[in-house]
Amino acid sequence: MTVPGVAGFEVDLLALDIDDTLTTFLGSIDEPVADAIGRACEAGITVVLATGRSLSTTAPIARAAGLDGWVVCSNGAVLATVEPETIIETITFDPGPLLDLLTERLPNAVYAVEDARGIFHTTELFPAGALGLSIRKVPFEHLLAEPVTRVVVRSAEHADEGFGSIARDLGMHSVIFGVGHDAWMDIGPQSVNKATMLADLCMRLDINPARVVSVGDSWNDVEMLRWAGLGVAMGSAPTRVRQAADAVTSAEPGQGVIDVIDTLLS
């Protein structure tokens, strides 16, 4: 399917979110998706995964997609390569003041931090899912031991009301929040997101951001969609995420990406 607004765009770098964009949540790469990415690479386009996942769960998806180069992980706090699997740059912060603030307001929440190596340390084990493969239960004070790339907060007590009011008070950090079985927050360094690390990568590769296409579906993709020369939202994205984009592709994970690549290469 041709994606309106995408045909004829001159692209040097294609940035792809993973969950519910490239794959279903916790899903695998379908062969037609890998084939489309291969065609993009053969056409000279640099394809980069840009995700909230840590490197440990990003690299297997990249390999399955036939990619061995750059990835942006942890919502922009980590720049890494797949082959060799190496963290190149991290943006960290001292979690102490933030955790002091949060524990005062959320004394019964579960807390976790991701260190600069992509390892999660948590006060209570929880299913990390796509976040990362390495998670260790530690005493709370161990969360304060070193700078981190993000703090994760989960609370079953707030599953109804969510963390919206608390998240709005955390102006010194980049915050993504929502409600599933638990209320959760993913809190990163100030003013850091997928777009900021992609901009860093463009400088490294001497690529003009005006020739970048980004594809995503969720709130942590909004800055990336606005920053890229052409931002494409998945058809399944919330209204305000779609409003941040220049174009909208089909809603099906994987197929929407195929449609974008086919239109770019047509």
Measured on CA atoms in the order 24, 228, 89, 120, is the torsion positive or negative? negative
Q: How far apart are CA 241 and CA 245, in angstroms?
A: 7
Q: Of 129, 140, 97, 133, which is closest to residue 117 (Cα–Cα)? A: 133
For the chain, percent helix, then strand, then coil, each to nearest 5?
35, 25, 40
Centre a 10 Å sphere on the Cβ of residue 178 and count the other Cβ atoms it contains. 15
**208-248 residue pLDDT tens:** 999 999 999 999 999 999 999 999 999 999 999 999 999 99
Judge whether 192 and 75 are in contact, CB under 8 Å: yes
Which of 132, 92, 245, 83 is CA-nearest to residue 256? 245
List domains and CATH numbers for the chain. 13-90+192-265 (3.40.50.1000), 96-188 (3.30.1240.10)
Would you say residue 120 has pLDDT above 70?
yes
Confidence band of 127 (pLDDT split at 50, 70, 90) = low
pLDDT surpassing 80 at residue 179: no
Q: What is the pLDDT of residue 237?
A: 96
Beta bridge partners of 153: 111, 185
Q: Do 235 and 250 form a contact (C-beta atoms < 8 A)? A: yes
Mean of the pLDDT values across residues 43-58? 95
> CA angle, corner 260, sides to 256 and 263, nearest 5?
135
- The stretch 45-70 carries a mean pLDDT of 95
Q: Residue 192 above 90 pLDDT?
A: yes
The pair phi, psi for residue 205, each rounded to 5°, is: -95, 0
Q: What is the pLDDT of residue 156?
A: 80
Interacting residues of 181 by C-beta distance below 8 A, sequence separation 6+: 156, 159
As given in the structure block, the two tokens for residue 37 are: 């990415």
Rounded Cα distance between 245 and 76, Å, is: 19
Stated pTM of the model:
0.92
